């Protein structure tokens, strides 16, 4: 159920025109380097960097240059997707674009990697980023097909971008890259490596844990010295005098062998103290890798689109005594059972955004959800009476008082079930967005007492009649967007009558239907 698109602003249209001309300039520079033997690629890139870039730097502020960069990258990505004849030159063209627009004052950058069988310009690109992108706070490298980065070159880029806080490597990350990130990034807050099949549990371990090999005997001696410092010297002498004994040869050999004992230590990397978002959806990471992340990142708020958190929480519950309380504020759960949902509620007490797909738990378990929820998305919800009654009870109870966004998508049935909006809408006083799909929405009783002052957006797949539509408009004075896919019995004259009823719904408050 898509919304209607509003016309773009004059500023956006102007930026699109400038971006189109800028892309054309980069293509001309690329063609000139191939057409004229005197203008080699290195000479052309140097010309754009030293002669063209100063004009753009002096004339266009860095936020505008960043938006222009994004628009130009989008245009080149569209050329690749559409199979345009010039798509093979996009790699070189992106280099010209970055030589023109990139400078140390750019804080965010998104680069569309081009070649399907390995980026032939990866070396030049990373060398440029290492020297010219030192001010980056956000870096996104995007690619539609499988691609592996050069870990050594990427390491140099990360070492130069010391203030990097957001890094997106969709479909191109690997275990080696994660190890490089763990060694180089100390202020990273957001990391997205989703859709990267080469990311495994070993990569998560290298990202979050650094291994140290220590001499266990020296560690034992330091520990003994620390304990003896707390004692008086007289007590130390007395204690040592009791322990002095003549050692046999075998005992001496045992003591000497202690010097060869090594200790394997694991400590969290520096980014564990700053990272709060880790998106590893659609990777090869298992529940054990998720368990490492939950244990190692104390401020972790979300795992992004990852939806198999139930098994990891079970492992965490078995390994932690007393039970661990997580800082997660957002969670996605797939085929959740009653026990796993209960564990999620007990462990993540600060949740404010929750998505449940294909719930296998009892509808009565919804009452266990925390009261902190402001966003809930239930996908593929059963349509039997028990589930509908449990859903009504939850939405009309105290757990849903703070809900601002509610999305319900029911299972497809041959006979469309009916949902009575009057059973839960009056209690959702803070609701701002409502979306219901897969059922027929109706009001079985009078709703004249319902006033939802904050509700601004409604999407309904099916409404039983035009009276329900009119009642819905009457109880939502702040409504801005209304999308109804099917409304039985509604025709043009009924719609005009509904919109022209000033006593119940002022026309000035209605913007779009």
* 233-271 residue pLDDT tens: 556 556 555 555 444 444 445 445 544 555 667 889 999
pLDDT digits (tens, 9 = 90+) for 438-469: 999 998 877 777 888 999 999 999 998 888 88
Q: What is the pLDDT of residue 142?
A: 78
Q: What is the pLDDT of residue 119?
A: 53
Most confident of the following: 136-145, 197-206, 484-493? 197-206
Looking at residue 430, what is its pLDDT? 93
If pLDDT is split at 50, 70 and 90, which confidence band does 509 have? very low
**Which of residues 330 and 28 earns the better pLDDT score?**
330
What are the start-end ranges of the H helices in 244-365? 249-257, 287-296, 309-319, 338-347
**pLDDT the model gives residue 437:** 95
Which residues are within 8 A (CB) of 194 and not within 5 positions of it... i.e. 6 or more apart?
Answer: 170, 171, 279, 280, 281, 282, 283, 304, 305
Parallel, antiparallel or unpaired: strands 433-437 and 405-410: parallel
> Which letter, b or e, does each residue of 402-429 get, where b requires 16 or more Cβ atoms within 10 Å of its Cβ?
bbbbbbbbbeeeeebbebebbbbbebbe
Of the listed ranges 141-150, 181-190, 349-358, the one predicted with least confidence: 141-150
The arithmetic mean of pLDDT across residues 335-351, rounded, is 93
Strand order, beta sheet including 190-192: 108-112, 138-142, 166-168, 190-192, 277-279
Residue 442, token pair as written in the block: 């109706």
Percent of the chain with pLDDT over 70: 81
Whether residue 377 is predicted with pLDDT greater than 80 in this model: the reply is yes
Does 188 have pLDDT greater than 60? yes
Please state, in angstroms and rounded to a whole number, the distance separating the CA atoms of residues 10 and 22.
18
98: which 2 tokens? 């970055």
| pLDDT band at 413; cut points 50, 70, 90 | confident
Q: Which two tokens stand for residue 242?
A: 């009791």
Is 80 exceeded by the pLDDT of residue 498?
Answer: no
Contact 333, 310 (CB under 8 A): yes
| Range 144-164 average pLDDT | 82
- Reported as a single tens digit per residue, the pLDDT across 380-402 is 999 999 999 999 999 998 888 89
Identical fold for domains 105-219+261-302 and 303-501, yes or no, is yes
- Residue 184 forms beta bridges with which residues? none
pLDDT value, residue 493 = 79
Positive or negative, the CA dihedral 319, 325, 331, 337 is positive
Model pLDDT, residue 116:
45
pLDDT band at residue 502 using 50, 70 and 90 as cut-offs: very low
CATH of domain 105-219+261-302: 3.80.10.10
Q: Are 290 and 306 in contact (CB under 8 A)?
A: yes
Contact 327, 297 (CB under 8 A): no
- Global pTM reads 0.81
Find the mean pLDDT for residues 102-129: 76
* Between residues 8 and 262, the one the model is more confident about: 8
Q: Where are the domains of the chain?
A: 1-101, 105-219+261-302, 303-501
Kindly report the average pLDDT of the chain as a whole number: 82
Over residues 298-318, the mean pLDDT reads 91
Predicted pLDDT of residue 372: 92
Calpha distance 476→197 (Å, rounded): 46
Q: Is 361 helix (H, G, I), strand (E, B) or coil?
A: coil
Are 443 and 424 in contact by the 8 Å Cβ rule? The answer is: no
Q: Which of 100-109, 148-157, 430-439 has the highest mean pLDDT?
A: 430-439
Q: What is the CATH number of domain 303-501?
A: 3.80.10
Query: What integer pLDDT is reported at residue 284 of this predicted model?
Result: 94
Q: What is the pLDDT of residue 81?
A: 60
Residue 449 neighbours by CB under 8 Å, 6+ apart: 426
pLDDT at 114: 59
Query: Are the C-beta atoms of 390 and 362 separated by less than 8 Å?
Result: yes
Q: How confident is the model at residue 90 (pLDDT cuts 50, 70, 90)?
A: low
What percent of the chain is predicted at pLDDT more than 90?
43
On the question of pLDDT at 163 being above 80, the answer is yes
How sure is the predictor about 43, in pLDDT bands with cuts at 50, 70 and 90? confident
The pLDDT value recorded for residue 229 is 47
Residue 428 CA from chain centroid, whole number: 28
Question: Which residues is 267 bridged to in the sheet?
Answer: 210
Position 148 scores a pLDDT of 67
> Residue 506: which residues within 8 A CB-CB, separation 6 or more?
477
């Amino acid at each position: 159920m898509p919304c209607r698109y509003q016309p773009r602003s004059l500023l956006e249209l102007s930026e699109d025109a400038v971006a189109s001309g800028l892309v054309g300039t980069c293509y001309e520079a690329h063609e000139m380097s191939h057409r004229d033997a005197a203008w080699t690629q290195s000479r052309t890139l140097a010309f754009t960097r030293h002669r063209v870039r100063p004009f753009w730097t002096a004339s266009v502020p860095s936020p505008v240059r960043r938006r222009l960069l994004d628009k130009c990258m989008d245009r080149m990505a569209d050329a690749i997707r559409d199979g345009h004849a010039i798509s093979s030159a996009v790699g070189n063209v992106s280099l010209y674009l970055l030589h023109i627009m990139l400078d140390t004052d750019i804080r965010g950058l998104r680069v569309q990697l081009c070649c399907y069988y390995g980026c032939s310009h990866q070396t030049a690109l990373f060398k440029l980023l290492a020297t010219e992108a030192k001010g980056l706070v956000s870096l996104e490298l995007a690619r539609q097909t499988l691609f592996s980065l050069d870990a050594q070159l990427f390491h140099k880029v990360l070492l130069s971008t010391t203030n990097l806080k957001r890094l997106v490597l969709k479909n191109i990350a690997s275990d080696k890259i994660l190890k490089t990130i763990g060694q180089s990034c100390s202020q990273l807050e957001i990391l997205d490596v989703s859709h990267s099949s080469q990311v495994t549990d070993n990569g998560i371990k290298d990202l979050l844990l650094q291994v140290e090999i220590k001499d266990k005997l020296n560690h034992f001696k330091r520990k003994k010295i620390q304990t003896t410092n707390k004692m008086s010297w007289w007590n130390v002498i007395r204690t040592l005098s009791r322990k002095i004994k003549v050692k046999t040869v075998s005992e001496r050999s045992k003591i000497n062998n202690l010097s060869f004992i090594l200790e394997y230590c694991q400590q969290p990397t520096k980014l564990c103290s700053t990272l709060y978002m880790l998106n590893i959806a659609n990777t090869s990471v298992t529940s054990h890798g998720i368990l490492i992340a939950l244990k190692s990142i104390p401020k972790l708020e979300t795992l992004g689109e990852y939806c198999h958190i139930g098994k990891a929480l079970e492992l965490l519950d078995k390994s932690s005594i007393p039970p661990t309380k997580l800082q997660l504020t957002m969670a996605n759960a797939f085929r959740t059972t009653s026990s796993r949902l209960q564990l999620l509620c007990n462990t993540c007490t600060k949740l404010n955004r929750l998505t449940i797909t294909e719930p296998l738990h009892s509808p009565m378990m919804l009452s266990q959800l925390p009261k902190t929820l402001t966003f809930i998305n239930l996908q593929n919800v059963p349509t039997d009476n028990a589930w509908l009654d449990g859903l009504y009870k939850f939405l009309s109870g105290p757990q849903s008082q703070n809900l601002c966004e509610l999305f319900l998508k029911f299972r497809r049935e041959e006979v469309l079930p009916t949902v009575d909006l009057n059973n839960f809408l009056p209690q959702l006083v803070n609701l701002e967005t409502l979306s219901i799909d897969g059922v027929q929405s109706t009001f079985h009783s009078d709703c004249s007492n319902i006033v939802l002052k904050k509700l601004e957006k409604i999407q309904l797949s099916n409404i039983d009649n035009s009276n329900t539509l009119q009642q819905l408009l009457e109880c939502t004075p702040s409504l801005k967007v209304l999308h109804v896919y099917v409304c039985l019995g509604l025709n043009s004259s009924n719609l005009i009558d509904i919109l022209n009823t000033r006593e119940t719904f002022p026309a000035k408050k209605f913007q779009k239907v």
